[in-house]
Amino acid sequence: MMKITMLPKFIIATVFLCMPLTGQAQADYEEIGGKVVIEAESLDLTGSSWVKESSIAGATGDEKAYIRYAGASFNTNPDKGKIEATIKINTTGKYLFKWRTLQGGSGHDDANDSWLKFSGENVDFYAEKEDSKAYPKGYEGKKINETAIIPNDKGPGEKGAFKIWSCCQTNVWLWWAKTWDKNSHFIFVEFDKPGIYTMEISGRSIGNIIDRITLSNDPKDVNEPTSSSGDSETPENDFRLAVSTFDLSKSGIAIYPNPAQGFLNIKGLKNTTAKIDLIDALGRVLPADMQQQNTNTIRINTTTLAPGLYFVRIGQLGQSAFVVK
- Residue 260: predicted pLDDT: 87
How many helices (DSSP H) and strands (DSSP E) are in the chain? 1, 27
pTM: 0.65
Q: What is the pLDDT of residues 241-266, one digit of tens each?
A: 332 323 456 567 888 888 888 999 98
Least confident of 73-77, 98-102, 160-164, 268-272: 268-272
* Residues comprising the chain, all counted: 325
Q: Is the pLDDT of residue 123 over 70?
A: yes
Cα dihedral 71, 72, 76, 77 sign: negative
Q: Is the pLDDT of residue 201 over 90?
A: yes
**Residues contacting 322, CB < 8 A, separation 6+:** 255, 258, 259, 260, 264, 309, 310, 311, 312
Q: Within its chain, how far is the Cα of 34 from the centroid? A: 11
User: Which strand (E) or helix (H) includes residue 221?
Assistant: helix 219-223
- Residue 66: predicted pLDDT: 94
- Report the share of the chain in percent with pLDDT over 70: 69
- Higher model confidence: residue 279 or residue 168? 279
Q: Is the pLDDT of residue 150 over 70?
A: no
- The answer to whether domain 248-324 has CATH 2.60.40.10 is yes
Q: For 111-134, what is the mean pLDDT? A: 85
Residue 61 Cα distances to 57, 100, 166, 221, 280, angstroms:
12, 12, 21, 22, 11
Phi/psi for 32 (5° steps) reads: -135, 130
**CATH of region 18-239:** 2.60.120.260
Q: How far apart are CA 112 and CA 184, in angstroms?
A: 14
Residue from 254, 252, 237, 236 nearest 320 by CA: 254
**CATH 2.60.40.10 residue ranges in the chain?**
248-324
Q: Within its chain, how far is the Cα of 65 from the centroid? A: 15
- Higher model confidence: residue 19 or residue 255? 255
**Residues contacting 57, CB < 8 A, separation 6+:** 64
**CATH 2.60.120.260 residue ranges in the chain?**
18-239
Q: How far apart are CA 297 and CA 271, in angstroms?
A: 10
